[in-house]
Structure 1
C-alpha cells in the first residue's frame, strides 16, 4: 500500500500580555488507564476539545459523549457506527454494515468524509472507521466551528472525533471475535512505557477479520494496524500516530429502499436479505501524523501538529438501492460503480497562555489550522439495473458496469484562525468561554472551473458554566455557530446557473444542567438550531424557454429538542443507564408547500435503557439494552411514514484468570426478537433496512 509523508509547517508570532499575577498551565502527563468514567465504564468524564484543551464534561457548556475503550469492547463494535448506535438520538442514515457510515445528529447530517481524527478533519479512514484503531470516540452534539472548524463536507449536526490508540497503559492483549454466519476477527494490542520516568511510550495493534456476515452470502475481509509513539515529560509531549486500513467486500451489500413510486410503505422484509449478490467494493486508507506541545514558560505553551492521509475506494459503495413498484414488493435496482483517490494534508500551530487579572483566571488560546484536499474521482458513476423483489430476492447475473474514468475534482484549501479566552472566577464556580474562528475557504475544481470560489467568514461562540451549589452540579448556556460551504448552482436549466452562494452559518442556542453525585451522572440539555439552505423551485423565464427552475437561498431548517441522559447504581450490583431525546425538526422557511413539515428521517422521540447485573459468581455479569425509535417520515411532504420500532439486545461478560492470564469472555445477541423494521432514512428519501438478529462472541487474553 502506497504511503506518503508530507511535511508542512506554519509560522506565527503571536504574544500574550501577562498580568502581574501569573498562573501555571497544567502539567503534561500521560493519561492512565484508570481515567475516570461514569459507573458503566462506557462514558469518559473528560474530553480533548482542540483549542479548549482537555475539559471535564461538567465544565463544558456543550453536550458531549466521550465513549471509552470499554464501550467499544462491550458492544463488540467493529466500526464507529456500532459504538454510536447505543445512543438512539444519533441516527444512522446508511445501513448497519454498509461500507459507508453516515450519521444524523439533532436533525442534521454528519457524513463519513467529515469524521474528525485526533482533532483534525480529512485524516480519518474513508467510508467507515474501524474501532480496531481507536481508544475512544468523542461526540460533540450540534455545530461547533470554534472547537473543530468548518467540516470540509459541510456537516453541521455535530462533531465526531475518532481518537486513535496511545500508550496510556501497560498492555499485552490478544483478542478473538466471532459472529454467526462465520465472520471471525482476531488481533493483538501491545503497549509499553520505557525510560527512568516512563517518558517513552509505544503502542502497536493489528487486526484481521474475514467471513460472511451482515446479509446472507456477503463476504467481508478487513485488515487494520495502528501505531502510537510518544515522548512525554513535564516540559513537553510529542506524539507520532499512524494507521493503515483495508476493506474488501464481495457478494452483496445491505440495501436501502424507495417507496416514492409506489406511494405507500410496505412491511419490512428479513434484515439478512441480500438483493445485490454480485456487488463488490474495496476501500483503503493510510495516515501518519505528528503532534506535540512544549512549555516555553510555566504559563505559556506551544502546540503544533501535521499529518497526511491517503484514501481510496472503488466498486459498488454507493447507491445500493431498490425502488419498489407494486404491492407485491417488486423493485428496480439502482447501483453504481464508483472510484476515488484523495490525499489530504493538515497542519496546526498555536499558543496557550495562562494568567490572572486580579481574582479572574484566564487561559487564552491562539491557533492556526490548515487543510488541503486533493481529490480525484469519477465524474459519472457507471450504472447497472435489474429487477428483484424485496421479499423474494432474484438470483440475477448482471455483471457490474465498467470502471468509471476519474479526474481531479477538487484542490481545496481550508485555513482558519481561532482565538479563545477561558475565564474562571469564584473558585471556578463561574466560568466563561469566549471565542471566534475566522475561516478562509478556497475551492478549486479543475474539471469545472466555473465552480471555483473563495470566501471567508468569522464564527463567534460564547458559553457560560455556573456551579451555584458546589462541584456536583453545573448549569450552562452557550451560543455556537457552524459553517458549511456555499452551494454552486450547476444546472443549465436553472435561472441562477453558475451562481455560488456565500457560506451558510448554522446557529445553535443551548441551555442545560449536569449533575454528578456518588455513582450517578445526569445530563439535561435543551437546544435550538437554525440552518440556512438553498431550494430549487419551478420558474418561467419569458426570454428563455429552456429555463425551468430557479435556485435561491433564504430557506431555513430548524431543530428544537430536549435530551436527557443518566447512569448510576440502583443497588451495588445493579447498574442502569439510559437516554431520551425529543426532537422537533421542520422546514421552517421555504416558498414551497412543505413549510412546517417534519424533516425526513427525524423521529420525534427516541429512548434507550440499559441494565447490567453482577451475578453472585465472581466476575460474571449479564446485561440488556432496549431501544425505541418513533415513526419517521420518508419524504418532505410527510405522506410516507415509517412505523416506530423497539429493539432488544442482551449480553453477558465473564472476567476470570486462566493459568495466570486475565481473561474476559463476552457474548451478545443483538435484536433478540429478530425484529423486521425500517431503521432510518438516507437523505435522498430511501429507507434503510434494519439488521436481523446477530450473535456475537468474543474473548480477550491480557498477558
Structure 2
C-alpha cells in the first residue's frame, strides 16, 4: 500500500501447511528441467568458448539435463563452445571433442561423464567419474556463471518474469546481472551497493533512511522488485548475503511481471542448495564499526543427493560511517531442494530478517535553491530516531517435466513485514540562515505480501518454425494494517548548517492505538507468450498479459477513504530478433504496461490518497555482441507515462505526461587475461508534456550517468586490485526547474588477496568507498554516502 511498511503476526506452521498445499495444487514445472524436447530433437545453443567444466555446465542447464562429473579431472581442458542447433547427444559430443571423455546416458534426462579407453590394446576398464550432479536452473546457471575468472559475465537469466529462464543474448530487452562473486568482492551489504555497480541504475532512497530502497532506471523511480521471479511492491531492509545474483531489467515489464513502474524490474535470486558440501565463513566490517559474521553452508542431505540444503546466517552490529548512526540485524535464510522424481523438483525457501537502524538519515526539503551539500559523514537527524523491521518469508516452487513437450511451473510466496514504531526527521530549508527540523513518531504497522504463479511451457513445431508457448496466471498483493498514532515535535530551529544540532529525546505520548485494517492493493494477470524460432537468424517474442489492478483504502472506522478502483487492461509485447552471426544479435521491441497509481506522501495535504492506474508505452532498438571475453550491449529507447507530483498547493496529483528518450551502452567481461571491466553509459532526453509543468524536465533525473568498475590481476598469484568510478550528471531538484543539483563523481578502490590455508581458499578483501570523502546531493531528498572502509576475511572449506 505504501513504502512505509506495516506489520502483522505470523503463524508459521499454519502458513507453511497452507502454502505447501496451495503450491502442490498448482500446475508445476521444473526450473531444473528445461524443455525435454531438446533431448531427442534439435535446439539452438549459444555457448562461448570456456573451460570445459564451465561449458558443460552451461550446456546441461540450457538443455534441461543433469550431468555427473568431477570438475577436478577436467582441469586445464577447454571447449571451443557450441553455436547452432544440436540434439543433447550431439551437443555433448561437440563440446567434448578432443577431450578424451564421452557423455553417457544413465536415466531420463541424466548423463555421466566417462573417460574413453586409452587404446584398443588395453582391456583395463576406465572408472566412471565421481557423481557430482549439475542441475539445470541451479548450479548450471546462477551458481556457475558470473565468476571473477570469467569477468563476471553471465549467459542466462534465471527469470524473465512469467517466461522463466532465458539466454541473455536472445532476450529482446536490456538486462544486466550482478553475480554473487561481484557482490562478495565489492563487499556489498544492501541494495544501494548493487545499484551503484549495476551499469544503468541509481539509488533514490537509500536503505539507511529506513524506508524501502528506491531505484532510478531510465530516469523513472521505482520500489518494485521480484524475488526468484515472484513480484513484490517493496523490499524493506533488503539483504544480499543470501542472494546468488541480482538481475536488472531496464524498461517496461508489464507483459513479464504485471503492474509495475516503467523504469524496470529488479529480480533478487536466492542461492540454491549445492550438490557438494560447501562451507564458507566470513568475518568482516562493512564500514565504521559495523562488524559482522556471515556463514554460508550447503550440500546434500541424503546419500543420493536428491535432497539438498543451503543456509545463510548473518549477524551484524555497530555504527555506520555516519556519526551516531548504527545498524543491528540478524538474518537466517534457508533453501531446500528435493528431487521428488527425476521429473519433479520441489524448492522451498524460508527467511527471517530482523533489521534495526538507529538514527536513519534525514529527509531534506528546500523551498529555495539549495547550496552545497552538508557534510555527509555527519548525522543530520537525531540519535534517538529509529526504524525497525522484522520480515518473515516463506516460498515454495514445484517444477514438473510432464513430457518432452510440456513443462509445468507453480510457485507461491508469503511475506510478513512488521514495524513496532518509526521515528524519522524532516529537515526544511526556507532561508540560507539554517534549517528547521520536524521529528515525528509513527505507530506500529504491518504488511502481508503474497505472490503466486501457475504456468505451463509448451514446445511444438509448425512446419520449420519452432515455438515455446508460455501461458498461465500470476499475481501479487499487499494487505496493510496500521495505527492512527502519530506524534511530532513541531518545527524546531532554525539550526546552523555548520554542524548538526542534536537535542534530548522528547517525551512522545505512549502508543496505545490498536492496529486496524487499512486496505489492500492487488494485481492479477493472465499471460500468453510465444517464443518463436523462425530460422537460424530470425526469432520473435510475442505475447499479451491481461492485467487487473484493484485497490481499497480504509479509515480506522472501516469506511473507504476514497472510491475503490479496479482497472483491467491488456499489456501487449512484440519483439523481433535478428542474429546474423552467432556472437551478434539485434532486436526491436514494443511493450506496454499497467501501473498502480502513486500514493500521496505523508507530507502532502492529501496524504495516502491513491492516484488512478497508469498506462505506459515503450519502444526499443538494441544490439548485443560477444567479442572475445566481453559482452557489449546498446539500447535506444523511448518511454512515456503519466506524470505525478506534489504541486505548489501541497496536493499530490497526476497531470500531464512524462517522456523519456535515451541510449544505454554497457560492457562486461575480460578485456584481456588480467583486466576485467564492467561499466555503462546512460544518456537521457526527458520532457514533461501538458499539465502545470509542460516543457519542463522531471526532478531527480540525471541526463548523463557513466560508470566503470575495473579489476586487475597483479603478478602476485591471487592478488587483485579494483577501482570504481561513478559519475552522475546534473539533476533538477524542483518541478519548476529553478533548483539544479550539481554533477558529482565518486571513486572506490579495492584490494583482494586469495591464498591457500591448509589446502582451502582464504580470501582477504578491503574496499574504500568514496575515497575522496566528497559531500554531494544524491538527489533532491537525500545527501550521498560518506567515505567508508570495508574489510573481511572469507574462508571456504
**Structure-1-length-normalised TM-score:** 0.88
Which of 123, 132, 137 is equivalent to 2:246? 137
The structure-2 alpha-carbon separation of the partners of 1:535 and 1:696, relative to structure 1 and needing over 3 Å to count, comes to closer
Give 3-state SS (helix, strand or coil) of 2:188's partner. coil
Cα deviation 1:407-464 (Å, max 9, x = unaligned): 211134422110011101223x211111111112332334242431222111111111
Say whether the 8 Å CA contact 1:526–1:563 is kept in structure 2: yes
| 1:521-600 alignment runs, 5 A limit | 521-533=631-643, 555-590=656-691, 592=692, 594-600=693-699
Change (3 A) 1:219 1:379: same
Number of the residue aligned with 1:306: 412
Mean alpha-carbon deviation: is it higher for 21-30 or for 453-462? Answer: 21-30
C-alpha deviations, 1:451-503, integer Å up to 9, x for none? 312221111111111101x1101101111122112479999x99x99998753
State the match for 2:186 in structure 1: 75
- Count of aligned pairs: 668
1:165 to 271, 282, 296: 271
The 2-side partners of 1:531 and 1:216 are apart by 40
Is the contact between residue 457 and residue 503 of structure 1 (CA under 8 Å) also seen in structure 2? Answer: no
- CA apart distance, 1:380: 6.4
Q: Partner of 2:300 in structure 1?
A: 193
Instruction: Give the 3 Å change call, closer, same or farther, for CA 379–105 of structure 1 in structure 2.
Output: farther
- Assess if the C-alpha contact under 8 Å between 2:225 and 2:268 holds in 1: yes
Q: Does 1:215 align with 2:322?
A: yes
Q: How does 1:624-703 map to 2 (within 5 A)?
A: 624-681=723-780, 686=781, 688-703=782-797
Q: Does 1:245 align with 2:353?
A: yes
1:129-166 deviation digits (Å, cap 9, x = unpaired): 11122111111111211111114xxx332111111221
Residue 474 of structure 1 corresponds to 585
Question: Which of 205, 209, 233 is the aligned partner of 1:94?
Answer: 205
Q: Using the alignment, how far apart are the partners of 2:544 and 2:636 within structure 1?
A: 23
Deviation of 1:13 (Å): 9.4
For 1:189-246, what per-residue CA distance to the aligned partner results, in whole angstroms no more than 9, with x for missing partners? 1110355653322111110000011411122101001111112364122101111100
**Greater Cα shift, 193-202 or 435-444:** 193-202
Alpha-carbon distance in 1 for matches of 2:199, 2:628: 26
Partner of 1:323: 428
Aligned ranges 1:83-482 → 2 under 5 Å:
83-87=194-198, 89-95=200-206, 97-100=208-211, 101-111=213-223, 114-122=224-232, 126-151=235-260, 155-168=261-274, 170=276, 171-194=278-301, 198-232=305-339, 234-250=342-358, 252-260=359-367, 263-275=368-380, 276-316=382-422, 320-379=425-484, 381-385=486-490, 386-387=492-493, 388-399=495-506, 401-402=508-509, 403=511, 405=513, 406-427=515-536, 429-447=537-555, 448-449=559-560, 450-468=562-580, 470-482=581-593
Q: TM-score, normalised by structure 2?
A: 0.78
Distance 1:499 1:361, change over 3 A: same
Measured in 1, the distance between the counterparts of 2:501 and 2:372 equals 19
- The offset of 1:180, in angstroms, is 4.2
Which consecutive unaligned segments of at least 5 residues does structure 1 have? Answer: 539-547
SS of the residue 2:376 aligns to: coil
**Residue of structure 2 in register with 1:520 after alignment:** 630
SS of 1:663's equivalent in the other structure is strand
Contact 1:314 1:337 in 2 (8 A): no
SS at match of 1:678: coil
Aligned-residue Cα RMSD (Å) equals 3.1
State the Cα distance separating 1:338 from its structure 2 match.
Answer: 4.6
The whole-number CA distance in structure 2 between the counterparts of 1:255 and 1:302 is 48
8 A Cα contact 1:200 1:231, kept in partner:
yes
* 3-state SS in 2 of match to 1:451: coil
CA distance in 2 between counterparts of 1:613 and 1:460 reads 44
Give the number of the structure whose residues are more often helix, by fraction. 2
